[in-house]
Structure 1
Amino acid sequence: MDEQPWNRQRLRSNNEWLLLEHLRTTGAASRAQLARETGLSKPTVSSALAALEQGGLVREAGTVVPERGRTAVLYEPDPTAGYVLGIDIGRARLRTAVADLSGGIRARIDVPNEGTTADAVADAVVAAAGEVLREADVPADRVVHAAVATPGVFDPESGRVRYAVNLPGWGRAGLVERIRGQLGGPDLSVHNDANLAALGEYAFGAGRGSRLFVYALVGTGLGIGIVADGELFTGAHGAAGEVGFLPVSLAALDGGALDGRALDDVVEQGIEAGAAAGAEAGREAASVEGRVRRGALEDAVSADAVVRIARALGLDGVASAKDVFDAARTGQPAAVAAVRKEGERLALVVSAVSAVLDPDLVVLGGGVGHGADLLLDPVRASLRLLTPLRPRVAASELGDDAVLLGAITTALRRARPEVFERHAAKAV
């Protein structure tokens, strides 16, 4: 029986996708090479390459002269067949980049997040995206997909971001649609920042080759991203890795006492002593309800906790975790003690994660991750006391770029099949 036309078209489409992905993963190749390496016949390869070239998905990449035979033309995927946007929304900064389909970054910007309302932040995101596209000279209608990283968990049914307590008002309905509508052309997806950091670190950094890899994003908040066999694990509702909500007391975290007093008592007394300072003390003396909403473990381990501990131990004049780490590098005792305490608390996070997931690697990233050179030793030492389950613990190789590169990676994973499907649909 003759093959149905739609079956023939599907076969041609499958062959074209096979060749396109082979070129993407192995590099430029000639027709003869492609025939040998894919098992397709030379006429099939020639026909598929011609269709892909006509559709703007592959291009000539030069020539090669084999030891025997004629000069052969090399082909490669055309990186300009489409573009993607990666957007990292943090409390302190907005990072945006545009990349071609090869993953090459065409332009990127990094600006302070000065939005004082959720709407202002959303508008700043759109403005940053427009600026980076102009810098890259890429029209908005050539962007196939935009991946947005944000604290919290995006709920596709309601269109709202949950648990993003460090971006006030960010959970309000309509914000994602506001960004989507103002960006115009591209499809848009919203993802947890720790998840995208994990994917970026897996693709480009310390997580390469790991079977089950955990990225701990410790900064304004606390979260982990989980990559198993190259794929993100996000749980039933997208909230896997929200370890900041684990209920735990500071006394339990800190092993009981410091100079005869529980560290949480020391911290609270330090907060009370500074109450006259006004707004900052008021923020740090947050209600129990506010602490529960943010998450007990997050409140104890995040960058703000490093500052609180250092101040409680007598270190004046520090406004950020970076200040504390810088002071520790100069040997200031209170700063050294605060960093050690943060390492011990992080070890508790790693031990809890290890008991549930059994990762082969945990990477420390985020703002606190900048102090990994000081943190790794106390984390490892505490792990030896806490648990027999001890994964390798390492510093992020990507630093502040992890989330943005994860957003680009996610956007590419969605854009490449989409570009090909558009091509295949035109061929029907």
Structure 2
Amino acid sequence: MREMTPAGPLLRQVNTQTLMQLIIHTGPVTRVELARRSGLSKQTVSEIVRQLQGADWVRETGRVRGGVGRSPVAYEFNPRSGFVIGVDLGGTKLRAAIGDLGGGLLHEIVESTDPLGGRHVIEQVCSVSRRLADLADASWDAVLCVAIGTPGVLNPQTGVMDFAVNIPSFGDLRVQDELTGRLGVPLLLDNDVNMAVLGEHWQGLGQDSSDFVFIAVGTGIGMGVVADDEIRRGCNGAAGEICYLPIGADPLDRANQVKGAFEEAAAGAGLVRRYVEAGGREVGVPEIFAAAADGDAAAQLVLDDEGRLIGQAICAVAGVLDPELVVLGGGIGSRTELLEPVRNWLGRFMLQPPEVHTSALGHRAPLVGSMAVALRTAHQDLFGATALTPLVLPTPPSGTADAADGDVAAPNPGGTR
């Protein structure tokens, strides 16, 4: 069968996307250089650049000097021609950020998730999103996409969030419809761990890996899967719900069937419970890690056992997916103290275990992934990205976001989300 060649409006979209990618990643660049690199005619390049400049997506940066004759004009992408918002909605913390279309992170807000749950959390997300636009001095019309990582899985049949047990009443709402109606912009909703694995793929340890998993251990437990450079969700969107693995607790006990046996045993509440059973005091997760560092035998025993449980889960995952890399994240999983026991137990379980590392992004992984999803969606909607022209996300500038005074809470090292 002869390979299809795009024509008409689709060809125009493909050409526009090709030039935008070149301008974003190689700018400032002249029209002559764009024609040379893209293989398009100079006339086509000039027409598209003129159109993009008129819409304020690209801007002149001056003339390139040093050649013979009239110096050509150079163009670059205008990153502040639009904005995107990413949200990481956890059971205890809400993290949100606004960025420009060049991948730059401008402002970030962190606050406690409204404990009343349900529509109170919906209103909180909307309020935080609009505050971010104000901080960036951006009109709401310039916000092109909002992407949100949440606990649970969006059920495409019902429109509600399944398994969203960490936010009260959240699973009773058609969350995407409610948020879209209130915000009035393109909105994407995905599991927070899926967002985390996308964050690692964009800016973290998974940048050079086409097959890896991200396992989050915190208030809950979940996994995001990248296989052949694509995220995998499964037929019901529940791929990666490893909280239901029959590990650490009786999977037939009804008490363990809501959150799952593995989550009941190894997530934050289970870790605290096992520490108490080992003779420790009823304290929080950070205190258990601190006690282990101070030589508390019960805390050290429990953390070694935590490594065993996580190692068993990785063993099960590796037997099915064969990932080249496992990234550990979440309030518990991202603790570097767990890395050695996890690797030790995994080495006892498997002859050829995958590489295991703690997240390079830490608690920010889901937020970075949400920003990546929003950015990709905005670029696709604006510049007509198609399967014929895979979109490469802009590399974000170095540096950290500015924070609104009083709006940014300190990270919770070793706590649960």
Q: Does 1:201 align with 2:166?
A: no
Question: What's the secondary structure of 1:171's corresponding residue?
Answer: helix
Conservation of the 8 A alpha-carbon contact between 2:250 and 2:256: no
Whole-angstrom CA distance in 2 between matches of 1:176 and 1:290: 30
1:402-413 equivalences in 2 (<5 Å): 402-413=365-376
Provide the residue aligned with 1:270 in structure 2: none
Describe the superposition over 1:218-247 as per-residue Cα deviations: whole angstroms up to 9, x where unpaired: 111111101123321111111110010122
Higher alpha-carbon deviation: 381-390 or 242-251: 242-251
Whole-angstrom CA distance in 1 between matches of 2:59 and 2:53: 6
- Note the C-alpha offset of 1:161: 0.3
Q: Which amino acid aligns with 1:17?
A: Q
In 2 relative to 1, CA 249–401 (structure 1 residues): closer, same or farther, beyond 3 Å?
closer
1:182-331 equivalences in 2 (<5 Å): 182-183=182-183, 185-250=184-249, 288-319=253-284, 321-331=285-295
Whole-angstrom CA distance in 1 between matches of 2:323 and 2:297: 34
Describe the superposition over 1:115-150 as per-residue Cα deviations: whole angstroms up to 9, x where unpaired: 323122222111211221211122222211111111
In 2 relative to 1, CA 28–297 (structure 1 residues): closer, same or farther, beyond 3 Å?
same
1:372-391 equivalences in 2 (<5 Å): 373-391=336-354
Whole-angstrom CA distance in 1 between matches of 2:151 and 2:230: 20
Higher alpha-carbon deviation: 108-117 or 53-62: 53-62
Structure 2: which 5+ runs fail to align? 1-5, 386-417
Q: Does 1:93 align with 2:93?
A: yes
Whole-angstrom CA distance in 2 between matches of 1:197 and 1:365: 8
Return the structure number with greater relative CO, CA threshold 8 A, min gap 6.
Answer: 2
Conservation of the 8 A alpha-carbon contact between 1:214 and 1:361: yes
Whole-angstrom CA distance in 1 between matches of 2:274 and 2:221: 17
Question: What's the secondary structure of 2:36's corresponding residue?
Answer: helix
CA RMSD across the alignment: 2.2
Describe the superposition over 1:39-72 as per-residue Cα deviations: whole angstroms up to 9, x where unpaired: 1222322222111111222112344334666533
Whole-angstrom CA distance in 2 between matches of 1:421 and 1:103: 18
- Note the C-alpha offset of 1:156: 2.8
Residues matched between the structures, number: 380
Q: Which structure has the bigger radius of gyration?
A: 1
Provide the residue aligned with 1:347 in structure 2: 311
Conservation of the 8 A alpha-carbon contact between 1:96 and 1:128: yes
- Note the C-alpha offset of 1:350: 0.8
Describe the superposition over 1:269-320 as per-residue Cα deviations: whole angstroms up to 9, x where unpaired: xxxxxxxxxxxxxxxxxx942421111111112122221121111221522x
Whole-angstrom CA distance in 1 between matches of 2:171 and 2:128: 21
Task: State the 4+ residue runs in structure 1 displaced beyond 6 angstroms.
Answer: none
Q: Which amino acid aligns with 2:133?
A: L
Identity of counterpart residues, as a percentage? 38
Question: What's the secondary structure of 1:145's corresponding residue?
Answer: strand
Q: Does 1:147 align with 2:112?
A: no
Whole-angstrom CA distance in 2 between matches of 1:251 and 1:340: 20
Q: Does 1:112 align with 2:108?
A: no
Conservation of the 8 A alpha-carbon contact between 1:99 and 1:408: yes
Whole-angstrom CA distance in 1 between matches of 2:270 and 2:69: 68
- Note the C-alpha offset of 1:9: 4.8
Provide the residue aligned with 2:160 in structure 1: 160
Conservation of the 8 A alpha-carbon contact between 1:343 and 1:375: yes
Q: Does 1:22 align with 2:43?
A: no
Q: TM-score by structure 1 length?
A: 0.84
Q: Does 1:392 align with 2:355?
A: yes
Conservation of the 8 A alpha-carbon contact between 1:210 and 1:360: yes
